[in-house]
Homo-oligomer: A and B are copies of this chain.
Amino acid sequence: MLSELNLRISPRTVQQETVDKLRLAILSGLFQPGSRLIESQLCAQLGVSRPSLREALRSLEAERLIEIVPNRGPSIPALSWSEATAIYEVRELLEVEAAGRCASRIHAEQLRELEKSLAAFEEAASSNDSLAQVTTAADFYSIILANCGNPILEEVHRGLVARISFFRGRSMSLEGRAQSSLAEMREIYESIAAGDEKAARKASKRHLLKAKAAAKMSMNSES
């Protein structure tokens, strides 16, 4: 009996599993910024051989999720605020463009999905689960990026967002940030739903600038 039908066309390899597991671990903040990763430990924890692990590490290095310095091995990069600022600036460029394009080309079905994800964030925002807040907010934006009509825009954006995941969790846990974030996102949604490209750009820009300011506040207050 084919209880679990496996249509996966490209079989998942050990390398891919390893990359995914490590990426998830990094994005959820399991490792301290600046901390070093020991190959032998990771091998044992993940149950893979050293060559496979090293391939995975090279992939993550190219994604800039880890740094590998020769003869010292891999470590979690500690993002400085100036680097984070640079990322936020490029994110702004991409997100504003995506929101604008999205407004003029999204289909009804995807619009409903966007609405749903906004509702999910609303739910999360009223709770105190900051992980859920970050996740649902990320979902909201990936729907926008996925419907902007340019897969490259989406790809580049994903890469950048991953690198500042560290800041997102902290800024979202700021007092009142989730609620104001909700209001900003609703504005974006309304603009897109109305097909108003200009408004969508404006709302998107406003949202990102506030997110950036929140990130900076959360950073100064604790670091």
Q: Which of B11, B58, B94, B97 contacts A70 (CB 8 A)?
A: B11
Whole-angstrom CA separation of A145 from B54 in the bound complex? 32
Closest partner residue, chain B, to A13 (CB atom) = B70
Task: Report 20 cross-chain contacts, Cβ distance below 8 Å, ordered by A residue.
Answer: A10-B70, A11-B70, A13-B70, A15-B58, A55-B55, A55-B58, A58-B58, A58-B59, A58-B62, A59-B62, A83-B151, A86-B151, A89-B150, A89-B152, A89-B153, A90-B94, A90-B150, A90-B152, A152-B160, A156-B160
**Would you call A63 an interface residue if the criterion is a C-beta within 8 Å of the partner chain's C-beta atoms?**
yes
Contact: A11 with B153, CB < 8 Å? Answer: no
> Contact residues of A with B, CB < 8 Å?
10-13, 15-16, 51, 54-56, 58-59, 61-63, 69-71, 83, 86-87, 89-90, 93-94, 97, 150-153, 156, 160
Copies in the complex: 2
Tell me, rounded to whole Å, the shortest Cβ–Cβ distance linking A7 to chain B: 15
Residues of B within 8 A of A90 (CB): 94, 150, 152-153, 156
Whole-angstrom CA separation of A94 from B55 in the bound complex? 31
**Known contacts A59-B58, A62-B63; is A156 also within 8 Å of B156 by CB?**
yes
Residues of B within 8 A of A12 (CB): 70
Whole-angstrom CA separation of A47 from B97 in the bound complex? 46
Whole-angstrom CA separation of A54 from B94 in the bound complex? 33
Residues of B within 8 A of A86 (CB): 150-153
Contact: B150 with A11, CB < 8 Å? Answer: no
